[in-house]
Amino acid sequence: MSLDQLMAWIPPGSPDLELARQIQPDRLPQHVAIIMDGNGRWAGKRHLPRVEGHRAGIQSVREVLETSARLGLKVLTLYAFSVENWKRPAAEVGTLMMLLKRYLRSELATLLENNIRFHVIGRPEGLAPDIRAELDDAACQTSGNSGLLFNIALNYGGRAEIVDAVRTAMTSGLAPADLDEESFARFLYTGGQPDPDLLIRTSGEMRVSNFLLWQIAYAEIYVTDTLWPDFRRRDLLEAIVAYQKRDRRYGGIAPPVAAGVK
């Protein structure tokens, strides 16, 4: 997939085409991670129950996923349910799980068509057996795909992930002297994947809420006031255009600016 594939998919005359033209294909983020937030507020603004926001957010997931696959991103990680989200009312959690199950059933064909590999990060052992079976099935059926890697963070916590990685490292037989940042990262749920280059959070909150704590060490952070159910292809393209204007220094210094060039 490539920028051309994305452009071919955007209807002629759509303002998204102009936005897509601004994207530099050689400077795409490899990994985009999204904290999908604001479903409850979206519903509240419409005097609807919170769960209607979760339902509406599924269309945003579809559009972001297809845009990412067509654009040729390597990895997309969506934060769908945190270890802290169990604090919510049981009815809301139940509906979220039901929507997840329904989504997996209805979207499997789309994942296969778009050559997307589905992968769960988090503690799936804490989820109900029927949900796990659905997740395992989607991961298994898409395991041979070579396009976009779609990580869904479920029953996920960044601190829990680090603790789990330490446990695995301790039982792996790796000598303490051989433990360094690179070897440790292989024990994370995202082992072998590039770290997120771009972290997007919708709905304006300026916090990371226990998401990918290790991996976002040098991610560029983009926060938009748009609520998740309103987030569309255009919003993702805007985030990528903004990302490409950033100057990533990794603790070094900015490259010299050529004379006369701004």
Q: Which residues bind Mg ion (CB under 5 A)?
A: 37
Shortest distance (Å) from residue 231 CB to Mg ion:
14
Alpha-carbon dihedral sign for residues 34, 35, 38, 39 = positive
Q: Does 101 bind ligand IPE (CB under 6 A)?
A: no
231 binds ligand IPE (CB under 6 A): no
- Per the residue annotation, which of 16, 37, 197, 235 is the catalytic one? 37
For the sheet with 31-35, list strands across it: 117-122, 149-156, 75-82, 31-35, 198-201, 220-223
Q: Are 227 and 198 in contact (CB under 8 A)?
A: no
Return the bridge partners of 222, or none: 200
User: Is-catalytic flag, 145?
Assistant: no
Q: Which is nearer to Mg ion, 211 or 243 (CB)?
A: 211
Alpha-carbon span 23 to 180, nearest angstrom: 36
Task: Given the residues 4, 26, 39, 85, select the one marked as catalytic.
Answer: 85
> Based on CB atoms, which residue is closest to ligand IPE, 81 or 243?
81
- Helix residue spans in the chain (DSSP H): 3-9, 15-21, 39-45, 50-71, 90-113, 129-141, 158-171, 181-185, 233-244
**Stretch of 9-17, 37-45, 175-183, 239-247 lying at the interface with ligand IPE (CB under 6 A):** 37-45
Q: Pick between residue 159 and residue 207 the one whose CB is nearest to ligand IPE.
A: 207
Tokens of 151: 């990580």
Residues facing residue 122 across a β-bridge: 154
For residue 81, state whether it binds ligand IPE (rule: CB under 6 A).
Answer: yes
Among 33, 66, 75, 79, binds ligand IPE (CB under 6 A): 79
The Cα–Cα gap between 163 and 12 comes to 49
DSSP state of 18: H
Q: Is 37 among the residues known to form the active site?
A: yes
161 touching ligand IPE, by CB under 6 A: no
Closest contact distance (angstroms) between CB of 145 and ligand IPE is: 25
- Of the candidate residues 16, 37, 66, 238, the single one contacting ligand IPE (CB under 6 A): 37
Which residues form the catalytic set? 37, 85
Binding site for ligand IPE (CB under 6 A): 35-41, 79-82, 85, 96, 203, 205, 207, 209, 228
